Structure 1
Amino acid sequence: MTSGISAVGSVTSASSAASGADLYRQREAGASALDAMRQPALPAYNLDNSRPGDVFFHIASGKYIGHTNIASTDKTFKIDSVDPDGVRKVSMFSDSQPAIVFRFVDWHIAYNAAKLAEGWAPKGEFRRGQPKPKKEVGYSGGAIGLGVTARVVGNLMGSSHFGTGAQGRLHKYAGRPDMKPKNVICSELCVLAYQLCLRENDAAFPRLDAKHTTPSVLFRYMTQGPGAAFWTMVGRRNFRA
């Protein structure tokens, strides 16, 4: 029988390989994002030109596609998912990370996606240093060691193709009150919010397995994949050339 320690070791070794490949993809996507952000035609993104449902990607360390966020129906807030807090509603003013912003073609769907994501966050604003509200939707299924969460390992190890597994999970969520998943990572949150507001036969439906879609995969879907027909790069946040 395999010991618990060696089992964790084999999982983390496999996840390390997957993580390395995804880190390369994140850096590759980040380079194209930075090139786009440096274009004079791409405006600064602020409250005046923001819309509910806008999705934005942090540019981590100046070169990686990182944390993914969705703008709330109240433009002064965003919805995201982090470890260990899970899905939360956070002030836009608390987020100083440089980011690149995308907008969906149908603003009604975008608004509905933002509203749905809000329903997965605890009521009220998440404030650092304040008592944390009870989670509505978590981030991870648990830690497996070395700071790696089970949810992240699952995200890295599977295919992002929308298959029967992804379809089954989506139908399960759709049958729940508020269509809540149990746990999501940041990019998974954004994908599910839009999938649950669209019909599967809609051309704009993101044919991605949300559970296995990393931020860099979602970024490439919006810029180079089928999503490019329905998502537009509209601005840059907190960017310094």
Structure 2
Amino acid sequence: MAALCMIALLTGCGSDDAAKVKQDNSVQQKETQKEAQKEPTQDELNEQLKKEAVPANFTEIDSYRIAKDTKLTAKGEVTSIEKDGALGVFTLTTTEGDGYGMYSITNFSSAEVSEGDNVEIWGVYSDKNNVGMPSITATIIEKAERKKGFQEENPVKKPEKQVTETLSQKNAVAMANDYLDYTAFSKSGLIEQLEYEGFSNEDATYAVNKISVDWKEQAVNMANDYLDYTSFSRSGLIEQLEYEGFSNEDAVYAVDQIGL
């Protein structure tokens, strides 16, 4: 009798365990089904659209070789806006091969566009609109870096204003050349000499800048002129040349050239 009770007890326990396992399996299946039925996020949908979309081809669409609901992507310029705001409509002009493509884009995204914007869109081909333009319903619109227009990349250079030499400037140039034919001058010394002759600082500076002069060679010539007149130490001759308006570099160069 005791043995029968033990068997009955064990049988009852086995039935409870089996029921519990069955219940656990049922809960797990429901969780799996719920997970499978979970709707993807918008970011996940966008990522999937970008992966599946193919580049739009105006020629193929115009020839009815692209089926409706095909996922497409296109990049180009917003050339006109037919309707602003939510569900707005704009024309996207693309460069394709040697030609252009024009698409009517219905904006199902949160992006705002303006004429002249360069954008890239991803969406679904709807059909041709009432004027025969391929229509794409875009759920992703991203602005690209604005390209420079032709005029910006190739600015028209304004012609340089031609400077007409005045008679005074012409005379200053002639006198500057005459002085250099006669003796050596530093640049500042020649300007001062022309001012002494009555020319304005502007005309004197213009003349000295206009002529072609090797100022180092002028320093050498003046150093020789001084040595023909009197004796100098190396440092004394350098100081004298600097006093005449030559830079220290030109003065040292001249003294080196004459071997002092």
TM bracket, shorter-chain basis:
under 0.3
- Whichever structure has more helix as a proportion of its residues is 2
Bigger Rg, structure 1 or 2: 2
Q: TM-score, normalised by structure 2?
A: 0.18
Q: TM-score, normalised by structure 1?
A: 0.19
